[in-house]
Copies of this chain bind each other. A is one copy, B any other.
Amino acid sequence: MNFSSDNTTPMSPSILTAIGEANKGFQSSYGSDDYSSQLQEAFSTLFEREVHVFLTNTGTAANSLALSALVRPYESILCSQEAHVFTDECGAPELYTGGSQLITVDGAFGKINPKALERQIEISEAIRPHKQKPGCVSITQATEAGTVYSVEEIQTIAQCCREHNLPLHMDGARFANALVSLGVSPSELTWKSGVDVLTFGATKNGAMCAEAVIFFNPTYAEDFDYLHKRSGQLMSKMRFFSCQFLAYLENDLWIENAQHANAMAISLASAFNRNQTPIINPVQANEVFVSLPAKVASYLEEQGAGFYSWGHVDECMYRFVTTWCTTEKEIIAFESLLEKALKS
């Protein structure tokens, strides 16, 4: 009953196989290998246009690097106050960008509200140069609240970006979960809706260690090889990272993994519903946020259920994450534990 994080899962067997197959003979280093070339093509095919792809070892690095291509140090990054870049990256965006300020924009369920965005931009511009220049907007898809922006919502934000000449970044650490939730194509969810650069995560959804920065707008990619190297992210044996993505995309492994994880979240939410446990956010991807009495939460943990408390400890809010490994059996077991916990 491990619902603590999608980062605790192993990798999908076919990705391990791919690593083994890539382990043959010499390959040029620093991304000049065959696998990395193939990957550029695979991603271009996937997104139905030429894209520029750079790999990193963590989502934090991918986000921060992407942002560093979009903003200058005197510019700000507008994001939700629940954005991973704002709450959980220990200053990596500030480091990579040279000191940009992350300015939070109000909104519900982990999203940013377009009107609040417009207002925040105006406030900054009104006191130029005393406040940082708005530099870009960053949205998270799926959000850290387990919700998903609709295509229309993205387009509305992108429209505001265009009017203010701001590039739009999408943190897609759980891009696959959002994609299958909406049932749209990768291109519809990104550049066709106005996204300029995407952080495309695979680690949480079945890879060993594979995160990509994908540029739809080639302008931002121009000098990115320098930023990539300068951040210590240009891996010498890049083949072992590119091959993971190739296997991830092959035969829609990524789609299947995400579909399973999302289905398990629905299943888990039903279990909570059946037990009158308040679900805080709409369940649209692979995360379920609930309110639980502190005692109940403690009991569940003692009995071996893995999950995290969310926000300040006295808020009694808890996050449950389902993954490509989660089984129906686990959920059934958890539900019976929950019943016991609530009774006692």
Which residues from chain A sit less than 8 Å from chain B, CB to CB? 2, 4-5, 7-11, 13, 16, 19-20, 23-30, 56-62, 64-65, 72-75, 87-92, 94-96, 98-102, 119, 122-123, 126-133, 203-204, 208-209, 223, 225-237, 240-241, 306, 311-313, 325
Contact = CB atoms under 8 A, between A and B. Distances in A.
A132 B90 contact: yes
A95 B129 CA distance: 15
Given A9-B237, A61-B231, A61-B232, 7 more contacts: A72-B223, A74-B90, A90-B131, A90-B226, A99-B99, A129-B230, A133-B226
Contacts of A237: 7, 9, 11, 203, 208-209
Contacts of A225: 128-129
A311 B123 contact: yes
Nearest to A33: B8
B16 A29 contact: no
Contact of A11 (B9, B23, B95): B23
Most-contacted residue by chain B among A24, A26, A74, A75 (CB, 10 A)? A74
Task: Name the 10 nearest CB pairs between A and B, nearest first.
Answer: A61-B232, A94-B99, A98-B98, A7-B29, A7-B236, A74-B226, A57-B57, A129-B225, A90-B229, A129-B229
A211 to B, nearest CB: 9
Nearest to A241: B209
A316 B20 CA distance: 39
A209 B240 contact: yes
Contact of A234 (B60, B87, B226): B60
Given A56-B232, A234-B58, A236-B203, A100 B94 contact: yes
A128 B226 CA distance: 8
Given A57-B57, A91-B99, A95-B95, A64 B226 contact: no
Say how many copies of this protein the assembly contains: 4
Contact of A233 (B25, B61, B73, B236): B61
A61 B232 CA distance: 4
Contacts of A62: 232
A16 B11 contact: no
Contacts of A58: 232-236
A53 B173 CA distance: 27
A22 to B, nearest CB: 8
Given A73-B98, A74-B223, A232-B233, A119 B203 contact: no
Given A95-B95, A130-B90, A209 B230 contact: no
B312 A123 contact: yes
A127 B57 CA distance: 21
A98 B97 CA distance: 9
Contacts of A65: 232
Nearest to A84: B130
Contacts of A92: 229-232
A319 B24 CA distance: 24
